Structure 1
Amino acid sequence: MEYKFTIIVPVYNEIESLPRLFKYLGDYLKKASKKSCVLLVDDGSSDGSANEIEKFCLDTPDFKCLIFDKNYGKGAALKAAFDHTETPLLGYLDADLQTHPEDFELLFPYIQEFGLVTGWRKNRKDTLVKRISSKTGNAVRIFFTKDNIHDTGCPLKILYTEDAKRIPLFKGLQRFLPAMILLQDKPIKEVVINHYPREAGTSKYNFKNRFLGPLVDCFAYVWIKKSYIDYNLKAKHG
């Protein structure tokens, strides 16, 4: 049976989270409503994550990986995964498991009507500082993009692979996936999902990369929006 859905997981220094991640993903693949595989992308980890990922993928069916030679950032990890995905649909999940793969099942019912379906972590399990910085960064992003998404940082998303491949590579790409799908004239949908506290490893986010980083990236998005060209074929022969 052909795979229909690829779960993309960017990884950066998550050695402590990997055993739990592998188990959760493996358990979900056994019961997923669509035949699914996993594509792990190690973004230049320095803690041994890359070796563990390679070893696991070589020994485990339905798991594949991309290993970067150095740290390029989550946007680059996602774009590389988009470019190497062969299934009609793809999803995105963070390695810290603050969202669970089972909740893709909450998004699937809407994907036929929308270009992108994203989770909304309405009841966050983060620290106060993380919630405030996320809320501030989100407000700044909405001001520039007008996508009106409550929780664009939610890593649980589903979109069509052909649309994902049309998204250009730029720093902070992960923050603008809904906006980039809107540029393709496709509607987007938010669905309330569960959010869980981090159980292993340490967060890579702080005020600088949750507010200042997104602010700078918004200017890149504004330029891309003005320059973005998309096309659809009327016919193809031969």
Structure 2
Amino acid sequence: MTASPELSVVVPVFNERDNVPPLVQEIVAALRGVVPFEIVYVDDHSRDDTLAVLQGLKAQVPELRVLHHVSQSGQSTAIRTGVKAARGTWIATLDGDGQNDPADIPRLIAKRGEQPGEVKLFAGWRVNRQDTGSKRWASKWANKIRARMLRDDTPDTGCGIKLFERAAFLDLPYFDHMHRYLPALMQRAGWKTVSVPVNHRARTTGVSKYNNLNRALVGIRDLRGVAWLITRSKRTAVEEL
């Protein structure tokens, strides 16, 4: 295991046993020699043998750490579990289904080096999505509604690949599905965010854990809640005397 990683790659998974080995190897290939890193997989109480596959990989990949939820808690909780356990000052997240490309992580890191320190989130932007037509259509309208309500100037908040400062993330209000609203929440906290075009790949194995109806029903409630949080936010500069 890396002694003091600069970057922690957090990957939440639920029933993704066939996607785990190739994605881990891609992360290693993208980051070894680029930045000191660790990989933090969070198994959200999978019903298949995802956890066993992860445990088997630990002997081969010294950067890999494995956390396990004793009960299924959802993607946002899994991400937060990984971030809390992470030792890096910056976090990169990836979806566990293999549709995000780990080769984009060094690009996000390079983009960070071009931006001022007040930018705390670099959000992936899937400019060429490889999803079904119905999912692309639903996402397009969801993004339009969200942008109108939250004014977060972010074209794609649903992209799983993101780079953000650990401390800034842990200072955000936590709630289920918060991972879909990170740009708005970061901006609410006074930080800036940048969207970066990234690669997107078709799922080759496993099945999606969401459907359009469930996303829509939950999304309406969450949008109202985040909009309320934004209206109730207060920020001020602080002086130490």
Q: TM-score, normalized by length of structure 2? A: 0.89
- CA-based RMSD of the aligned residues comes to 2.0
1:234 deviates by 4.0
CA contact (8 A) 1:140 1:215 kept: no
1:106 deviates by 1.5
One-letter amino acid matched to 2:57: F
* 1:77-92 pair list within 5 angstroms: 77-92=78-93
How many residues were matched structurally?
Answer: 235
Q: Which deviates the most, 222-231 or 99-108?
A: 222-231
Q: Which residue among 21, 45, 49 is the counterpart of 2:23?
A: 21
1:59 deviates by 5.3
Segments of 5+ residues of structure 2 without an aligned counterpart are: none
Tell me what 1:121 maps to.
Answer: 126
Tell me what 1:141 maps to.
Answer: 146
**Can you list the C-alpha shifts for 1:17-60, whole angstroms capped at 9, x where unaligned?**
112122212222324x2211111111121112122223323653
Tell me what 1:66 maps to.
Answer: 67
Q: Which residue among 198, 215, 237 is the counterpart of 1:193?
A: 198
Alpha-carbon distance between aligned partners in 1 of 2:111 and 2:27, rounded to the nearest angstrom: 22
Alpha-carbon distance between aligned partners in 2 of 1:172 and 1:14, rounded to the nearest angstrom: 20
One-letter amino acid matched to 1:90: I
One-letter amino acid matched to 2:73: Y
Tell me what 1:183 maps to.
Answer: 188
Alpha-carbon distance between aligned partners in 1 of 2:238 and 2:102, rounded to the nearest angstrom: 35
Alpha-carbon distance between aligned partners in 2 of 1:95 and 1:52, rounded to the nearest angstrom: 13
Alpha-carbon distance between aligned partners in 2 of 1:233 and 1:10, rounded to the nearest angstrom: 36
1:98 deviates by 1.0
Tell me what 1:223 maps to.
Answer: 228
1:192 deviates by 1.1
1:16 deviates by 1.9
Tell me what 1:154 maps to.
Answer: 159
Alpha-carbon distance between aligned partners in 2 of 1:25 and 1:109, rounded to the nearest angstrom: 16
The 3 A distance-change label for structure 1 pair 3 and 202 is same
CA contact (8 A) 1:6 1:36 kept: yes
Alpha-carbon distance between aligned partners in 2 of 1:168 and 1:57, rounded to the nearest angstrom: 33
Q: TM-score, normalized by length of structure 1? A: 0.90
CA contact (8 A) 1:184 1:230 kept: yes
CA contact (8 A) 2:9 2:39 kept: yes
State the SS of the aligned residue for 2:39: strand
1:213 and 2:215 equivalent? no
CA contact (8 A) 2:129 2:136 kept: yes
Segments of 5+ residues of structure 1 without an aligned counterpart are: none
Identical aligned pairs, as a percentage? 28
Tell me what 1:104 maps to.
Answer: 105
Q: Which deviates the most, 137-146 or 93-102?
A: 137-146
CA contact (8 A) 1:137 1:215 kept: no
* 1:36-47 pair list within 5 angstroms: 36-47=37-48
The 3 A distance-change label for structure 1 pair 235 and 136 is same
**Can you list the C-alpha shifts for 1:89-139, whole angstroms capped at 9, x where unaligned?**
111101112111110122112324221111111111111011011112222
CA contact (8 A) 2:21 2:57 kept: no
